[in-house]
Structure 1
Amino acid sequence: MLNFELYNPTKLIFGKGQIEKLPTLIPAGAKILLAYGGGSIFKNGVHEQARKSLEGYNIVEFGGIEANPHFETLMKAVAIIKEENIDFILAVGGGSVIDGVKFISAAVHFDGNPIDILQKHILIKENAMPFGTILTLPATGSEMNSGSVVTIAATQEKLAFGGSALFPQFSICDPTVIQSLPKRQLQNGVVDAYTHVLEQYLTYVHEGFLQDRIAESILQTLIQIGPNVIEKPTDYALASNFMWSCTMALNGLIQKGVPSDWATHMIGHELTALYGIDHARTLAIIGPNLYKVMFETKKEKLAQYGKRVFNLTGSEEEIAREAIEKTVAFFHSMGMKTALSENAENIEKTADFIVDRFEKRGWKGLGEKQNITLEKVKEIVLASY
């Protein structure tokens, strides 16, 4: 097992009716920026619950954070925080709103041009504005980690950043909020969480036995509940296991002491930036084709995955190949279209564009072994057409 440090200061408050605990979590007298996205929090009652719980607090609202939060929009919030002397941010929404608030938190006191946080991948270890979250869409795990992804609309770039100062102080996770979510968002949430686990699991055989078993249990749980929670979001057992699986998929635990990949995400981010494809759907497009192109590198771990998660039998190679097909079948059962041509038009130059962009950034060796070269990236994207 590799050396590691585990640090996660986020206080997670899980279950029904927990929004009423907000006054015990936010300092008395704090001036709050309440940040949200497209307004679904008004329809599902979360906004009303939050405002009622925070009666007596001075609150400024900031809405309109995009599904892939834009740098340009978030900088408007930074300006409001400075003008209004805000001292606490409450993110009410899904992973995109929380990711956006992480950038806002980092940018308020950043010494320099905040765009550098994204373009230079600056680690934020101090001077971030405190924030908490009310999760309304399980998917990204952003409610219990310190990572974020933000889009620069002007350059069509979707870039990741993070740092130890960007953990939420608290996250309220009430599974009943998923009842009002559109089916597409629930489908995305399951596939997003599933792929988060695969990025940390489908590498090579190692000695992190416990991490593997925890990862496999999350995958099996998502397979068990995924199709059902889409059809029965009011079932609390399904909803709570869905929400907790999404958090556990990316709160740092299964990544410690083991190698991880993340190339699927790095390529997938480009498809979102170029075509506006939902994040989870880019992962369903790229992931299986990456496993096929990098088959020899990942064959042993794919076989383990096939045996333990899908109970497959046969030769190692047969199991490994069938495991990829089982993954595709699961994605299809979750409403994913796994070819780029099914999700976007005018895709002919996509592979060349992404390779050129990666080359300019110096991203010439991705994956757990840095052996996903620019040539492999092109092969993966072309296989996704």
Structure 2
Amino acid sequence: MEAHIKSFRGMVPDYCPGPIQRCNFSQYPINENSKSLRAVTVSSLRGDSTKFFDFAVIGSGVAGLRYALEVAKHGSVAVITKAEPHESNTNYAQGGVSAVLCPSDSVESHVQDTIVAGAYLCDEETVRVVCTEGPERIRELIAMGASFDHGEDGNLHLAREGGHSHHRIVHAADMTGREIERALLEAVLKDPNIFMFEHHLAIDLLTCQDGSDTVCLGVDTLNTETQEVIRFISKVTLLASGGAGQIYPTTTNPPVATGDGIAMAHRAQAVISNMEFVQFHPTALADEGLPAKPTKARENAFLITEAVRGDGGILYNLDMERFMPLYDERAELAPRDVVARGIDDQLKKRNEKYVLLDISHKPREKNSLTLPQHSS
């Protein structure tokens, strides 16, 4: 998503909320479902329910926290998150982070793998920045206290996953996102310039017209524990609110992934782009195939990390026929969208509910070390 809204920079001295009062919010289209909530917002704002920061960050995943740590060098930061700070898509990421850290690998190879996996639709400049800066970002995380797995030689253990031609996946067992989130949160909580507001549900961006430009002045939020509306006025507002997996019947995303930020940006007349690029993780635990069914429905499906296929896992249909070589010469190591479509095609053609992912040919002891969540 790209949000083309100007930041609020220097329009009002000493954080005076005057421009908000002068803005005519009625000029923006409001859908019927949001009218009542916005009426509550306007009527509930009084006294100390308005807070002022240099930066307001909506979301407490890796993007929001890393940005907060960077801009805290330049001013006060509010991190606004609608549940507990750790509850984000980042926290549920398992497999690892790709970066060129092996002498036999190269940034150019990583760039090419990424562009091919993206069906040549990627923004090449962005790909080059990410692939080039990846190793330094890993070193930054380690300096912040993130602990990743090391091999017997003492170097970082690099796994291989779908779409990659080299071993370049830095990981913390199969709980990499949780470890990165832990390290970033610890750093954020130690920073005196960063203030965490948990259980604050972002409702709407505060916007005003400056000529032909739409200017963002901050955000209105609802404290879901006290039911109080809190307004944040900021020079810069960052939307890092995560995805929208929960709009689908089955998702590995946590319950907080409801697309709030995208909806707010749309209501604020931001330009929304690339909405067709929704990535479906190919493998999650199919409760229908379990010998003992869960007693209650899961809030989100249990993700089976890509590292299982990267470590040699093989996909079979229920007749124990390996099928991925029929769809791609890279078989189980094809990019996620290819594997997801292969599985979907098998289920529809065979009228079956699930497929099988087998890694039993690998030593159990090795699986227990590298994939503890999947081996217990």
Q: Please state which band the TM-score falls in when normalised by the shorter chain.
A: under 0.3
With normalisation by structure 1, the TM-score equals 0.27
Structure of greater Rg: 2
Which structure is higher in strand share?
2
Which structure is higher in helix share?
1
